[in-house]
Amino acid sequence: MNNKIYKLLLGMALLAGTTACEPDLTVPLRGEITDEQALSDPAALRKTLNGIYQLLGNDRTYGGRFQIANDLLGDDINGSSLTGDYGSVYTRTTTIFGDVKNQLYSEPYIAIYRANVVLENLQVVTNQQERAILEGEAKFLRAISHFAVARLFAQPYVSGQANTQPGIPIRTSTESSAAVRASVGEVYEQIISDLQDAADLLPAQNAPFATEWAAKGVLARVYFQMNDFQNAYTYANDVIENSQFEFNPSSEEFLLRFSQEESSESILSIVNDERNTNIGAEFRNQYRSDVAIPNLRVAPALFNLASANSADARNAWYDNETYPGNIVLTKFNRDFFSVPLVHITELKLIRAESAAELNQNLEVAIADINDIIRRAYGENSTRLLPDNAAAAVIKQRVREERRLELVGEGDRGQELKRRGALGENIVVRGAPYDCPGAVLQFPQGEIANSPGFVKNIESGCN
């Protein structure tokens, strides 16, 4: 294996013993550990962490469903033929029922509970270096779980405001208690605290698990979501300049990102092979277009943008001929592929737009976006920015390329919310970016078990 790539090798031999001798930690909010001996040594804690990685890599979470739900809340997907839970997400009419939607909430909290189990039993680890790594991984996994839920079930963070709007329950212990929604500000404070701790505790090399660079990459994403451009720039820049991961200038990257091969850009990936077929399965189930017409199809406006320049190598991701009257993606047309969670291209987009927003380091921003343009359109593309491009021009070009580069990766819905929270007049398919239906409804089980739990408004986006 290329030692530059540190990935979550889920489903491999490493996880073969995950469930053996592992306590029952499947209850996300009120589960109790009944077998104390099962957490009496470092190996048991490692098995518990392995189970969290596996959980967060399945097709109900970061293995496809988180990304799809976020795309359905945007404007890149033509969901007019969707029914069931995905149909209700697309039409912004979710209810307290629905297994697909409810698992977007319950699965991350199972991961959070298990992470808390590890954190509460670190005293069994006497080796300080090993203890730091276990603690760092647990906090990293807890952070990305809270973050995933917050983006789907709460309105966005608004920079410069108190952010007292209802967020999600924060779980930092295994103690059984009724769920209470913390404020959005408190939720993001907890996420950042966990990620900063993880970045301090984790080594730069920790194959095949989360690393210092993975934590810093996610910090860049979180700060960018908050429109905290200084911190977003700082963390993205740190990873790009100081880690072992490199931007791939070849258009082959468009085939490598979702494949079984290795990309120099992959900071954190969920690996999929014949022995672990559920990784990426939801992408294939909903987007794959070489077997039958998929459930998720491309909105005409996106296709018009994507196909406007025939020189764009990313045009190969689109097919408007096989199924007349429909536009589909080809990006996920493989039997197996790894799912990237953090990669260098996203961090270059974050660094470039943050620099433009700050009106600082514009030469870095121009170089970043020109790298991406050059890879897509060729060395002599007229889309390349001049050395003296203004900040506003840079920002506009970065946003155009972000939409094209990250199609299908779960970025668009949250990008529109971020820009709306920044003060832009963002209307998504005829409704404001923060209309009530733009957040999902909490599961009935959570509401019933927590007297006084504050529900999201159920009026949709009409």
Q: How far apart are CA 68 and CA 84, in angstroms?
A: 14
- Structure-token pair, residue 100: 């697909």
Whether 274 has a pLDDT exceeding 80, the answer reads: no
Q: What is the mean pLDDT of residues 128-156?
A: 99
Cβ contact 265:213 at 8 Å: no
Whether 158 has a pLDDT exceeding 50, the answer reads: yes
pLDDT for res 38 = 53
Whether 1 has a pLDDT exceeding 80, the answer reads: no
pLDDT tens per residue across span 423-457: 999 999 999 999 999 999 999 999 999 999 999 99
Whether 26 has a pLDDT exceeding 60, the answer reads: no
Give the global pTM.
0.92
CA distances from 358 to 217, 235, 351, 392 (A): 19, 15, 10, 11
Residue 224's Cα: distance from chain center in Å? 13
Whether 37 has a pLDDT exceeding 50, the answer reads: no
The one-character DSSP state at 457 is P
Q: What percent of the chain has pLDDT over 90?
A: 83
Checking 381-389 for CB contacts under 8 A at 24+ apart, the result is: 381/311, 383/309, 387/363, 389/362
Query: Span 13-285+336-342: which CATH code?
Result: 1.25.40.390
Which burial class, exposed, middle or buried, applies to 399 when counting CB atoms under 10 A from its CB (0-12, 13-18, 19+)?
Answer: middle
- Structure-token pair, residue 284: 């294939």
pLDDT for res 273 = 67
* pLDDT level of residue 40 (50, 70, 90 thresholds): confident
Cβ contact 68:150 at 8 Å: no
Whether 296 has a pLDDT exceeding 80, the answer reads: yes
Q: How far apart are CA 41 and CA 43, in angstroms?
A: 6
Q: What is the mean pLDDT of residues 49-74?
A: 94
Those residues whose C-beta lies under 8 Å from the C-beta of residue 437, and which sit 6 or more positions away, are 91, 92, 93, 94, 431, 459, 460, 461
Whether 142 has a pLDDT exceeding 50, the answer reads: yes
Cis status of the peptide bond prior to 208, with omega within 30 of 0: yes
Whether 309 has a pLDDT exceeding 90, the answer reads: yes
Identify the sign of the CA torsion 46, 47, 52, 58.
positive
pLDDT higher for 255 or 390? 390
Whether 51 has a pLDDT exceeding 80, the answer reads: yes
The overall average pLDDT reported for the chain is 91
Q: How far apart are CA 382 and CA 286, in angstroms?
A: 35
pLDDT for res 36 = 53
Whether 66 has a pLDDT exceeding 90, the answer reads: yes
